[in-house]
A and B are shown apart, each in its own frame.
Chain A
Amino acid sequence: MSEQATAIAENTSLGASLDTIAPGRKNLGRALMALATAGLAIVALIQIFHAAGAIGFGFSTWRPLLYAYILWGVALGVGQVLTRGEEGYRALFLLPALLFTIAMVVFPTLFGFYIATLDWNLSGTPKFNGLANFWQMLRDPFYSNALLNMVFYVLAVFVEYVIAFGLALLLNAQIRARKFFRVVFLLPLMLSPVAVSWMIGKSLMEYRFGPAATLARKLGWENPAFFASPWSAKISIMLLDAWTFIPFLMIMLLAGLQAMPRDVLEAAKVDGASAWQTFWGVTFPLMLPVSVTALILRIIFKLKLADIVITVTSGGPGGATDTVTSFIFREYRDRSNVGYGTMLAMVYLIIIIVFVTLLLKLASRFVRNVT
């Protein structure tokens, strides 16, 4: 929080302490919150007992519980204002987002850890089977294969970075029609990955008469089946994904280049540094913080890669292009094995959290050492 923000917080909390709250109003607020909580609990209990078959009455779906939660959230907000006055008004800014995120992330994730221990295909009754899913996962060659593929996909980010840096330098150069080129270079990012997989993956790279295949034949590749062999398929997927996401890296790097202090560059020029020396001695080190931010964001997006794989190759040939997400998607689609799929997803979540935490630690140390 900035110093200014601290100033206003103290300033207004001074005002808040002057505005005393009547005990009656405070009690009203507390009563309201208690009532709402009790209401939510009652609705939840009725529904749980109803679902378990213990009582005859109840609702046909769990949706009333959702409404009860929303009502509870409103009552909580009103209660905050009633009991805490000015402070309550300020809490109202944060409450909606907080309640929303808790309901949508924290609860489903915890629920997910529970599902992960079930043998369940959504239609039948769930059966608890402990860590059986976990042991099955360790023996599943396709899952470890998908994890390994993710490593290659993440490494491809660095190639994207080099290209994006080059493009950013080009756009930052003294050129005409800069706006035109910027718009054109940004365009691939706008397009839906699913449409892109058809436009490029299934049509441009089509084996028989796609222009990319024709071009590859002319260049001497006799049999340009982009998605037939494991490595060419993997590289083709990387290319498709790079095509959509290079603009993202490029825009961030371009912003970094435009924010660079001009006097440092001028000094380098006065000292007689060549373009090559200026880049490695001045531009690149100054760009490191932006580069690290852009790379980390890009890697985070890369870890979610799925749409293109699902629509173009559905993981094939033989799982060579599978990402974790696409593998779980198929695991659910083909066998509707919710319990096992969730276990895979939860393990992936833990791996990602550890990996990104390490990455952030490494990045902060790396950037500090250089600058």
Chain B
Amino acid sequence: MTAEAIEHAPSEVRSPAAFLTSRVFIYGALIFWAFICLFPIYWTITTSFKTAPNVTQGHLIPWVDFTPDWRGWRSLGLSPDTIGGTSTVRDEFLKRFFNSVITSVGASALAIVIGSLAAYGLTRFRYKFGWMKNEDISFFFLSQLILPPVVLALPFLALYKGLGLLDTRIGLILLYTLMVLPIVIWIMRDQFNSIPVELEEAALVDGLSVWGAFFQIVLPIALPGMVAAFILSMVLCWNEYFFAALLTSTNANTIPVMVASQTGSQGINWWSMAALSTAAIAPLAIIGVLLERYLIKGMTAGAVK
């Protein structure tokens, strides 16, 4: 028995007309919300193929309302006729793009490594650091989640200046790792708790060390959880703007900083902004569609018990 049938149980039993109404309502609402979710994306992608008059006259449908034009992509150096040649804008864009890739992959990987280890230790062993026991240590890690970035931003500005880490990718990676670490620990703790401890006990009896049992027995089982945590971290790091805007200037800029700096300038080139935005959201939109399962797994870890 499904929830929907319960929700509409009386109508389902009583009259086909009422059943039909509820169907129409449900699908109407679903399609309406799908429209709300998709329209801005559709608008952005189509605008990247528009010329100025098409934008000002509010044309919406390609080939019907307006003829698609490569102008937006040409200004990024990514249209078919410019892709072979040299383009400073494209080099700039690719540099930002790879900065984003390196920082988000680097930070997610680092957070997964140290976060998984800590989560495993916290679910399996008893620690004592002074007055702090396992629960306190877990709380210490998870409480980082409420720390607003702005609290760390200015101290880090001063510290990174002293350390010579301003405008470097390493500096961003360290901060992003910090940002996603509580989430990784949250997800991985949930994951390790769901693995029966008997497996490791058997491995220890067979003569494996604690670390050997972790790498050979536990890690393969926990892999889906790690993938989920990794993808969620990737999304958060890729989209991060605040720290990147404060701590980078020319070398380590990420894509969001590039997008934001374009919007500030006078007389926005709609088509090139649209092309840039499309390029900025495309990787994650693709990840979202392909790996939705893992994202949901990551987000709902520990929520339902």
Cα distance A196–B281 in the bound complex, in angstroms: 9
Q: Which of B1-36 contact A (CB under 8 A)?
A: 1-11, 26-27, 29-30, 33-34, 36
Q: Is the CB of B146 within 8 A of A111?
A: no
- Does A18 sit within 8 A of B, measured CB to CB? no
- Does A366 sit within 8 A of B, measured CB to CB? no
- Does A219 sit within 8 A of B, measured CB to CB? no
Cβ of A252: which chain B residues have Cβ within 8 Å of it? 299-300, 303
Nearest residue in A to B13 (C-beta to C-beta)?
A269
- Does A156 sit within 8 A of B, measured CB to CB? no
Cβ of B197: which chain A residues have Cβ within 8 Å of it? 2, 4-5, 7-8
Contact partner of B118 (CB less than 8 A), chosen from A93, A166, A172, is A93
Q: Is the CB of B118 within 8 A of A122?
A: no
A89 touching B246 in the complex, CB below 8 Å, given contacts A187-B41, A187-B285? no
Cβ of B257: which chain A residues have Cβ within 8 Å of it? 194
Q: Is the CB of B124 within 8 A of A96?
A: no
Cα distance A190–B40 in the bound complex, in angstroms: 13
Nearest residue in B to A210 (C-beta to C-beta)?
B58
Between A and B, how many residue pairs show CB distances below 8 Å?
346
Q: Is the CB of B118 within 8 A of A191?
A: no
A265 touching B1 in the complex, CB below 8 Å, given contacts A199-B277, A203-B273, A211-B43? yes
- Does B259 sit within 8 A of A, measured CB to CB? yes
Q: Is the CB of B148 within 8 A of A197?
A: no
A105 touching B178 in the complex, CB below 8 Å, given contacts A89-B211, A203-B43, A325-B149? yes
Cβ of B129: which chain A residues have Cβ within 8 Å of it? 98
Q: Is the CB of A186 within 8 A of B181?
A: no
Binds B, one of A26-34, A176-184, A220-228, A229-237: A176-184
Q: Is the CB of B210 within 8 A of A290?
A: no
Contact partner of B4 (CB less than 8 A), chosen from A65, A172, A262, A352, is A172
Q: Is the CB of A341 within 8 A of B154?
A: yes
**Chain B nearest CB, measured from A112 CB (Å):** 4
**Chain B nearest CB, measured from A306 CB (Å):** 5
Cα distance A61–B158 in the bound complex, in angstroms: 12
Cβ of A122: which chain B residues have Cβ within 8 Å of it? 157-158, 161
Q: Is the CB of B121 within 8 A of A293?
A: no
Q: Is the CB of A193 within 8 A of B241?
A: yes
Q: Is the CB of B144 within 8 A of A105?
A: yes
Q: Is the CB of A185 within 8 A of B1?
A: no
Cα distance A342–B158 in the bound complex, in angstroms: 11
A94 touching B26 in the complex, CB below 8 Å, given contacts A63-B164, A174-B5, A194-B260? no
0/1 interface trace, chain B 118-158, chain A, CB 8 Å (1 if under)? 10111111110100001101001100111111111111111
- Does A35 sit within 8 A of B, measured CB to CB? no
Cα distance A57–B129 in the bound complex, in angstroms: 38
Nearest residue in A to B161 (C-beta to C-beta)?
A122
Q: Is the CB of B125 within 8 A of A93?
A: yes
A94 touching B155 in the complex, CB below 8 Å, given contacts A208-B56, A352-B146? no
Cα distance A209–B85 in the bound complex, in angstroms: 34
Cα distance A279–B4 in the bound complex, in angstroms: 11
Cβ of B235: which chain A residues have Cβ within 8 Å of it? 189-190
Q: Is the CB of A173 within 8 A of B7?
A: yes
Cβ of B200: which chain A residues have Cβ within 8 Å of it? 8
Cα distance A198–B256 in the bound complex, in angstroms: 11
Nearest residue in B to A96 (C-beta to C-beta)?
B114
Q: Is the CB of B178 within 8 A of A100?
A: yes
Q: Is the CB of B137 within 8 A of A115?
A: no
The listed residue with most A CB atoms (<10 A of its CB), out of B37, B44, B129, is B37
Q: Is the CB of B151 within 8 A of A109?
A: yes
- Does A75 sit within 8 A of B, measured CB to CB? no
Q: Is the CB of A278 within 8 A of B6?
A: yes
Nearest residue in A to B192 (C-beta to C-beta)?
A5
Nearest residue in B to A163 (C-beta to C-beta)?
B33
Binds A, one of B68-76, B89-97, B286-294: B286-294
**Chain A nearest CB, measured from B266 CB (Å):** 13
Cα distance A265–B8 in the bound complex, in angstroms: 12
- Does A11 sit within 8 A of B, measured CB to CB? yes
- Does B87 sit within 8 A of A, measured CB to CB? no
Q: Is the CB of B163 within 8 A of A63?
A: yes
Q: Is the CB of B123 within 8 A of A1?
A: yes
Cβ of A181: which chain B residues have Cβ within 8 Å of it? 30, 34
- Does B255 sit within 8 A of A, measured CB to CB? yes
- Does A214 sit within 8 A of B, measured CB to CB? yes
- Does B193 sit within 8 A of A, measured CB to CB? yes
Cβ of A186: which chain B residues have Cβ within 8 Å of it? 288, 292, 295-296
Q: Is the CB of A274 within 8 A of B43?
A: no
0/1 interface trace, chain A 334-346, chain B, CB 8 Å (1 if under)? 0000100110011
Q: Is the CB of A97 within 8 A of B141?
A: yes
Q: Is the CB of A303 within 8 A of B148?
A: yes
Q: Is the CB of A199 within 8 A of B137?
A: no
- Does A155 sit within 8 A of B, measured CB to CB? no
Q: Is the CB of A104 within 8 A of B125?
A: no
Q: Is the CB of A199 within 8 A of B303?
A: no
Cα distance A204–B38 in the bound complex, in angstroms: 13
A104-B177, A109-B151 known, 5 other contacts, Cβ within 8 Å: A4-B198, A92-B117, A94-B122, A173-B3, A255-B304
Q: Which residues of A contact B (CB under 8 A)?
A: 1-2, 4-9, 11-12, 15, 60-63, 65-66, 86, 89-94, 96-98, 100-101, 104-105, 108-109, 111-112, 115, 122, 166-167, 169-175, 179, 181-200, 202-204, 208-209, 211, 214, 243, 248, 251-252, 255-257, 259-260, 262, 265-266, 268-269, 274-275, 278-279, 283, 290, 293-294, 300, 303-304, 306-307, 310-311, 324-325, 328-329, 332, 338, 341-342, 345-346, 348-349, 352-353, 356
Interface CB pairs A-B, < 8 A, 27:
A1-B123, A1-B126, A8-B197, A11-B204, A62-B163, A89-B211, A97-B117, A105-B144, A105-B152, A111-B155, A112-B151, A175-B27, A179-B292, A187-B289, A193-B239, A195-B44, A203-B270, A248-B299, A255-B296, A266-B1, A268-B6, A269-B1, A275-B11, A306-B241, A329-B245, A345-B153, A356-B146
| 7 closest residue pairs by CB, A with B | A93-B121, A173-B4, A97-B118, A190-B288, A61-B164, A255-B300, A174-B4
